[in-house]
Amino acid sequence: MEKSLKSISLNQGIILGIVLTLVTVLIYAFSIDLFTEWWLGILLFLIILVFGIIAAVKSRKALGGFMTFKEAFTSYFITVAVGTLISTIVGIVIFAFVDPDSAQYLNEKIIEMTMQTMESFGAPQDSINEAIAGMEGKNNFSAAMQMQSYVIRLLILAIIGLIVGVSLKKTDPNQA
C-alpha cells in the first residue's frame, strides 16, 4: 500500500478519534446518563462507518480512481481501528482512572434499565433475578471490558469493511 494511502487512513483515523473523544468528553461533562441511551451507540457506530468509507473513497481518488479490494479494505480498517482505539483509550482513562464512581453509577443504571426492560416484556421473575445476578459485580467500564468491547467492535467493523472493500474496488481497464 502506498504511503499516501496509509497517510490518508491514519489522518482520517486520528480525526475520527478526536470526534469520538469530543463526543465522549461532552457527554461525560454534561449528561452522563446519555451513555446508557441506545440511540447514542447507533449514532457513534454510523459516524465510525462514515469516516471509514470516506477514507476509502479518498484513497481511491488518490490512486486515480482505481483501487484493489485490499487497498479499499485496508484504508477503511486503518481508519476505524485508529479512531476507535483513541476513543477506547479515552474511555479507559475517564472511567477506570479519573472517575471510577461514574462507571459504577452507569453500571447500576444499566442493571436498572435491564430489569425494567425485562419486566416490560413479561419475563419471569426468576429470569430477571438470574440476569441481574450475572450483571452485578461486573464493571462494563473497566479497562479489560473496554478493550474487549474494542476488539468485538473491530471485528464487526471489519466484516462491514469487507463489504466496503468490495463495493469500492475498481479495476483499471488499462492494466489487464
Half-sphere exposure of 95 toward its Cβ, with a 13 Å CA cutoff? 27
| b/e code 56-94 from CB counts within 10 Å (16+ = b) | bbbbbebbeeebbbebbbbbbbbbbbbbbbbbbbbbbeb
List, in sequence order, every residue forming a beta bridge with 35; answer none if it has no partner: none
pTM of the model: 0.89
pLDDT digits (tens, 9 = 90+) for 17-35: 999 999 999 999 999 999 9
Distance CA 77, CA 101 (A): 34
pLDDT digits (tens, 9 = 90+) for 66-111: 999 999 999 999 999 999 999 999 999 999 999 999 999 999 999 9
Helices 38-62 and 143-168 meet at what angle, rounded to 10?
A: 40
